């Protein structure tokens, strides 16, 4: 992969590329709001050259072109070899873990591109007045039932990350506090100065990606394991890396090793135990027995209690001066990109 920043290698217009599925996700869909206003006259539908922005999208097989310009993206979901054959220019990445994974200069680790959200005309410029606590589950978590009941029991507002990004971000900016399983829920709360706390209901949440962003802000990270309102997601995706109701820190070296295993190292053959679990997950009988027997002991009441406890452990948002500096550096880097393309 070509990681050069040489302007001589760049030419013409680029298309905007980001993760798009049938099920929307406001963090990914934020790309269509943040970048067009900043890259007016640059973005086009050119098929062979693409601008890759917000999201854990480095190595995404659906995002390919002869030349890729990576700007504030993160690694962790896909193997880097998926982009073999592409010329890739890394202008900046989400955080220091992604930079180390790719062998980039530490200066490449700027921030998540969502930091520019308050500078977008369609989004709030600053924190809004509000007195509601909001809950933001991961978009895949909402495939399972019980969250409306959790919201009723807690008296908190449920925010669906699959809704329009403007609506989701406005509700974040006007919240009293944010309890979030969505990484971009935490990122946007932090940017707008709203106290927040992160949680995980299953192993589907990848704390290493969160740490990549957190380190770009100069902060540590811990999350809380919260039991989901139904047993089905735990059966399907596994437990988070701590007992339910406990907080767990995310260690830098373990996070880097985890990301390396997912993106670079050769996949290991599944163990006998893992193969057995895979077979069990495909068994309708096993699923019905485990999720319906009470073995996993999940309920909306239990989820509500855990989230209520989480409100006493809110994170103080990052210093606004740090956010301002991230915005300034990202705009400077974006201006360099604009000049090179033109």
* Residue 304 main-chain phi, psi, to 5 deg: -60, -45
| Whole-angstrom Cα Rg for the chain | 20
Per-position pLDDT tens, the chain of length 342? 444 433 334 445 899 999 888 888 999 999 999 999 899 889 887 778 999 999 999 999 988 889 999 999 999 999 999 999 999 999 999 999 999 999 999 999 999 999 999 999 999 999 999 999 999 999 999 999 999 999 999 999 999 999 999 999 999 999 999 999 999 999 999 999 999 999 999 999 999 999 999 999 999 999 999 999 999 999 889 999 999 999 999 889 999 999 999 999 877 666 555 555 565 555 665 555 455 555 567 999 999 999 999 999 999 999 999 999 999 999 999 999 998 887
The burial class, CB within 10 Å (0-12 / 13-18 / 19+), for 15 is middle
In sequence order, the β-bridge partners of residue 49 are 67
Do 59 and 70 contact (CB within 8 A), yes or no?
Answer: no
Q: Is the pTM above the cut of 0.85?
A: yes
What's the full length of the chain, in residues? 342
The half-sphere exposure of 262 on its side-chain side, counting CA atoms within 13 A, is: 20
The DSSP H or E segment spanning 10 is none
Residues 95, 71: contact at Cβ < 8 Å?
Answer: no
User: How far apart are the C-alpha atoms of 14 and 313, rounded to whole Å?
Assistant: 44
Structure tokens at 40: 């007016």
Enumerate residues 6+ apart whose C-beta is below 8 A from 54: 18, 27, 28, 30, 31, 34, 72, 73, 112, 113, 114
């Amino acid at each position: 992969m070509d990681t050069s920043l040489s302007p001589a290698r760049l030419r013409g217009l680029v298309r905007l590329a980001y993760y798009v599925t049938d099920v929307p996700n406001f963090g990914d869909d934020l790309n269509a709001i943040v970048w067009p206003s900043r890259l007016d006259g640059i973005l086009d539908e050119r098929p062979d050259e693409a601008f890759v922005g917000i999201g854990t999208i480095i190595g995404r097989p659906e995002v390919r072109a002869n030349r890729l310009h990576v700007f504030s993206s993160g690694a962790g979901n896909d193997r880097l070899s998926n982009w073999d054959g592409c010329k890739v220019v890394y202008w900046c990445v989400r955080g220091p873990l992604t930079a180390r994974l790719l062998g980039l200069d530490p200066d490449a680790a700027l921030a998540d591109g969502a930091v520019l959200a308050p500078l977008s005309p369609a989004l709030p410029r600053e924190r809004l007045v509000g007195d509601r606590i909001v809950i933001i589950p991961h978009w895949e978590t909402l495939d399972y039932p019980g969250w409306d009941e959790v919201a009723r029991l807690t008296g908190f507002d449920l925010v669906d990350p699959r809704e329009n990004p403007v609506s989701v971000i406005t509700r974040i900016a006007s919240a009293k506090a944010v309890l979030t399983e969505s990484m971009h829920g935490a990122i946007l709360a932090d940017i707008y100065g709203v106290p927040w706390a992160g949680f995980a209901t299953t192993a589907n949440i990848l704390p290493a990606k969160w740490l990549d962003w957190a380190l770009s802000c100069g902060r540590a990270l811990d999350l809380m394991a919260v039991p989901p309102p139904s047993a089905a997601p735990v059966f399907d995706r596994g437990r988070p890396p701590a007992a339910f109701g406990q907080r767990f820190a995310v260690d830098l070296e373990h996070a880097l090793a985890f990301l390396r295993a997912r993106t670079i190292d050769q996949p290991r053959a599944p163990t006998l135990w893992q193969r057995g679990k895979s077979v069990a997950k495909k068994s309708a009988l096993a699923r019905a027995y485990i999720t319906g027997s009470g073995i996993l002991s999940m309920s909306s009441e239990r989820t509500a209690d855990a989230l209520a406890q989480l409100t006493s452990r809110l994170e103080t948002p990052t210093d606004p001066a740090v956010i301002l500096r991230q915005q300034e550096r990202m705009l400077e880097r974006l201006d360099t990109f604009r000049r090179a393309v033109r």
